[in-house]
């Protein structure tokens, strides 16, 4: 009889706990990967692929899994890297070697004499900065071009060239702050 | 009121679970490499320890004693602890995914933290009332977190210190823990 009481007590309590856990599993369900979402929100969303991933979202997922470093996003620059380091609690590192140095802002232009109108560069452009149609000459909208150079490899006749952007009074902008808002610059003690 | 204060002082300093009773050494060595992780682990363990001390005291007083099932105490307490830890894991995963990633395997391993079961069983052994059990669990958890955070702070400094080659790594950590334990034994002098 006492064994029966023991068995019934133990199994009913276990069942009760199971119900509680089942309820809280529904109540506290986690959708997707919240870390990757937060990283993705920091990245600049140019989808330029300079980090060697297919776009910002795959790069964010790779960072969240710990497979990629935080310093591979040239469009975001130092500000993005510092924001990522702050979010993930890791040490900030300088941008990866191939991205060091003050980047010279470049755009591409299409040599219109050579262009055969194949539309391959239009499909490659992540920001729709190339205008044109099949068998028609293409051209680049300079103000839209982000300088990601993704249109150069697909071109079969190599008619796309890189051109540095000349700073003119109407294109000049205030330089970005070195530190993203909310992170005070470190002042070294005298 | 005095007895509750005494329970807190006793569990935090005099009978510290980590350094005097030597319970729960696995997370003490495992998650004390970084201060942030140690603080997170301390908070998670505080939550689990207090809640499991309360609920196992309730289970003992209201279910096991009236039914005469005292011999089921250990397995019942383990059941309670496992549920509380599982619940904590879900809450942490929802509220702080980064902490969840940082704690990793040590979060579910709170289940096997012997300090948690130790508190529940010691509560019964010392015939604590419900409130005393709650304070005992909370004090034990605060003592655990305090030592864990202190130790993590020291380990962060030791990592940049010039340690002789044979002491590097875990050996210097264990030696530090031993010296801390000696220091905490000094609190035994509080009780006359």
Question: Exposed (0-12), middle (13-18) or buried (19+): which is B35, by Cβ within 10 Å?
Answer: middle
Q: Which residues in chain A are closer than 8 Å to B67, comparing Cβ atoms?
A: 5-6, 9
**Given this model, what pLDDT does residue B180 score?**
93
Categorize the per-residue pLDDT at B112 as very low, low, confident or very high, splitting at 50, 70 and 90.
confident
**Concatenated DSSP letters of B132-149:** HHHHHHHHHHHHHHHHHH
Side-chain half-sphere exposure of A89, counting CA atoms within 13 A: 10
- For the stretch A8-53, pLDDT in tens is 989 999 999 999 999 998 888 877 777 888 888 888 887 777 787 8
Please indicate whether, in this complex, the C-beta atoms of B63 and A13 are within 8 angstroms of each other. yes
For testing contact with chain A, the best of B35, B56, B70, B90 (most A CBs within 10 A)? B90
pTM for this prediction: 0.62
Q: Which residues in chain B are closer than 8 Å to A39, comparing Cβ atoms?
A: none
**Given this model, what pLDDT does residue B77 score?**
92
Q: Please tell me the distance in Å from B77's CA to the nearest CA on chain A.
A: 11
Residue of B28, B2, B1, B8 lying closest to B134 (CA atoms): B8
Please indicate whether, in this complex, the C-beta atoms of A28 and B68 are within 8 angstroms of each other. no
- For the stretch B75-108, pLDDT in tens is 999 999 999 999 988 888 888 777 777 777 778 8
Please indicate whether, in this complex, the C-beta atoms of B76 and A13 are within 8 angstroms of each other. yes
Which two structure tokens, joined as six digits, stand for A161?
């060239």
Mean pLDDT along residues B134-145:
94
Give the start-to-end residue ranges of the domains of chain A: 1-28, 34-99, 104-168
Q: What spatial distance separates the first Cα and last Cα of chain A, rounded to whole Å?
A: 81
Q: Which residues in chain B are closer than 8 Å to A35, comparing Cβ atoms?
A: 97-98, 101
Of B63, B67, B83, which is closest to A20 when you measure between CB atoms?
B83
Q: Which residues in chain A are closer than 8 Å to B94, comparing Cβ atoms?
A: 28-30
Looking at the domain A104-168, which fold is it? Alpha-Beta Plaits (3.30.70)
CB pairs < 8 Å spanning A and B: 49
Which two structure tokens, joined as six digits, stand for A45?
């969303």
Distance (Å, rounded) from C-alpha B87 to C-alpha B47? 11
**Given this model, what pLDDT does residue A188 score?**
42
Looking at the domain A34-99, which fold is it? 3-methyladenine DNA Glycosylase II; Chain A, domain 3 (1.10.15)
| pLDDT of residue A168 exceeding 50 | yes
- If one compares A32 and B152, the residue with the highest pLDDT of the two is B152
For testing contact with chain A, the best of B88, B101, B103, B156 (most A CBs within 10 A)? B101
Q: What ipTM did this prediction achieve?
A: 0.75
Distance (Å, rounded) from C-alpha A49 to C-alpha A44? 12
- For the stretch A48-92, pLDDT in tens is 777 878 788 888 888 888 888 888 887 787 888 888 888 887 777
Full domain range(s) for residue B27? 2-190
Of B75, B91, B97, which is closest to A34 when you measure between CB atoms?
B97
Categorize the per-residue pLDDT at A100 as very low, low, confident or very high, splitting at 50, 70 and 90.
very low
- For the stretch A121-162, pLDDT in tens is 888 888 888 888 888 888 888 888 888 888 888 889 888 888
Percent of chain B beyond pLDDT 90? 38
| pLDDT of residue A189 exceeding 50 | no
CA distances to A47, A115, B37, B46, B56 from B156, in Å: 39, 61, 12, 22, 36
Stretch (H or E) spanning A186: none
Residue of B64, B26, B65 lying closest to B148 (CA atoms): B26
Domain count, chain B: 1
CB B22 within 8 A of CB B28: no
Render the burial of B62-101: b for 16+ CB within 10 Å, e for the rest: ebbeeeebeebbeebbbbbbbbbbbbbbbbbbeebbbbbb
Nearest CA in chain A to B95: A28
């Amino acid at each position: 009889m006492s064994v029966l009481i023991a068995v019934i007590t133990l199994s009913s309590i276990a069942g009760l706990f199971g119900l509680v856990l089942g309820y809280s599993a529904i109540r506290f369900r986690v959708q997707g990967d919240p870390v990757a979402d937060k990283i993705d929100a920091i990245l600049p969303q140019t989808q330029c692929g300079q980090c060697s991933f297919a776009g910002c979202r795959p790069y964010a997922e790779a960072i969240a899994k710990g497979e990629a470093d935080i310093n591979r996003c040239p469009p975001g620059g130092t500000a993005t890297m510092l924001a990522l380091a702050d979010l993930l609690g890791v040490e900030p590192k300088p941008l990866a070697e191939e991205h060091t140095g003050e980047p010279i802002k470049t755009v591409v232009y299409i040599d219109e004499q050579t262009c055969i109108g194949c539309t391959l560069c239009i499909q490659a452009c992540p920001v729709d900065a190339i205008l044109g149609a099949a068998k028609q000459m293409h051209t680049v909208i300079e103000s839209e071009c982000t300088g990601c150079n993704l249109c150069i490899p697909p071109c079969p006749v190599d008619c796309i060239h890189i051109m540095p952007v000349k700073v003119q009074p109407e294109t000049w902008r205030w330089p970005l702050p070195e530190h993203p808002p909310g992170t005070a610059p470190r002042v070294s003690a005298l | 009121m005095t007895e509750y204060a005494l329970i807190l002082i006793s569990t935090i300093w005099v009978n510290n679970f980590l350094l005097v009773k030597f319970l729960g050494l696995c997370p003490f060595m495992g998650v004390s490499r970084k201060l942030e992780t140690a603080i997170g682990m301390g908070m998670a363990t505080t939550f689990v320890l207090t809640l499991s001390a309360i609920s196992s005291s309730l289970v003992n007083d209201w279910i096991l004693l009236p039914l005469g099932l005292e011999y089921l105490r250990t397995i019942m307490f383990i059941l309670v602890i496992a549920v509380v830890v599982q619940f904590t894991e879900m809450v942490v995963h929802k509220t702080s995914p980064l902490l969840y990633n940082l704690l990793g395997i040590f979060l579910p391993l709170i289940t096997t933290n012997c300090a948690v079961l130790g508190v529940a069983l010691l509560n019964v052994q010392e015939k604590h009332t419900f409130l005393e059990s709650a304070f005992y669990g909370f004090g034990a958890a605060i003592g655990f977190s305090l030592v864990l955070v202190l130790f993590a702070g020291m380990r962060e400094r030791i990592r940049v210190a010039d340690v002789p080659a044979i002491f590097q790594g875990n050996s210097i950590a264990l030696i530090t823990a031993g010296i801390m334990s000696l220091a905490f034994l000094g609190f035994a002098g509080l009780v006359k």
